Amino acid sequence: MPPDSRTASPTRPMRADARRNYDRILAAAAEAIAEHGAEASLEEIARRAGVGSATLHRHFPSRRRLLEAVFRDKVEALCATAADLAADPDPGHALSTWLRAVARHAVSNRGLATALMQGSHDGDPTLGGTCHSMITSAGADLLHHAREANAARPDVTITDLLKLVNAISLAVEQEPDGADQADRLLTLALTGIHSAAEPAGR
């Protein structure tokens, strides 16, 4: 969330020092999360950023908000990819390509899967532009097209699919060959146990 120009309310722009600290914290958080995952110590992030822990908590009242901010641009990129793929003549292929892209991002950015998973079901109902909701609506479109083309069974929801992708990503996040494993598991999940060797995705 770009700290100035908030949703609708005409908040006055941030003071220069606040802005500076905000950015420093974000950078430090990105580093720390890359190293230690979504559970990285908030105190250490504050330490790295050279600010007091209170400052961190003022800018990001919950770990969730921090994750959201850290991964906002990655999520936007994924949404853009979805928009591109929406024009693909093979909607089934587009959908599975996109899900694969989500998985790839999630395993190479520790913490992303966690950020994508966290719906707004826990307090704090004032979140409209969460990673979760952004990615969900981006994917809903692709699924919609796939369904029309009979490339996805009608009872499956985008929430199901993303839950699957994120669950897989989380599970392999700390394995050394995470990317490979995620890809193989996702393939498995998309095409089923039985099909022999066919790339059934297209």
CB 53 to DNA: min, Å = 4
- What is the total count of residues that contact DNA (CB under 7 A)? 25
Burial class (CB in 10 A: 0-12, 13-18, 19+), 104: middle
- Per CB under 8 A, the list member of 46, 102, 117, 158 interacting with its own copies is 117
Query: Is the sign of the CA dihedral 144, 146, 152, 158 positive or negative?
Result: negative
Please say which residue, 51 or 138, places its beta carbon nearer to its own copies.
Answer: 138
Considering the rule CB under 8 A, would residue 96 count as an interface residue with its own copies?
A: yes
Among the listed residues 188, 169, 158, 138, the one whose alpha carbon sits nearest the alpha carbon of residue 38: 169
Considering the rule CB under 7 A, would residue 32 count as an interface residue with DNA?
A: no
Integer Cα distance of 200 and 202 in angstroms: 5
Among the listed residues 77, 106, 109, 82, the one whose alpha carbon sits nearest the alpha carbon of residue 96: 82
Integer Cα distance of 192 and 185 in angstroms: 10
| Terminal alpha carbon distance of the chain | 37
- Per CB under 7 A, the list member of 2, 8, 10, 54 interacting with DNA is 54
Which entry of DNA, its own copies, none binds 196, CB below 5 to 8 A by partner kind? its own copies
Q: What count of residues does the chain have?
A: 202
| Stretch touching DNA by CB under 7 A, among 15-23, 123-131, 157-165, 173-181 | 15-23
Whether 178 and 171 have beta carbons less than 8 Å apart is answered as no
| Stretch touching its own copies by CB under 8 A, among 9-17, 26-34, 41-49, 151-159 | 151-159
Residues at the site binding its own copies, with contacts judged by CB under 8 A: 92, 95-96, 117, 151-156, 160-161, 163-164, 166-168, 170-172, 181, 184-185, 188-197, 200
Residues at the site binding DNA, with contacts judged by CB under 7 A: 12, 14-18, 20-22, 41-44, 50-55, 57-59, 61-63
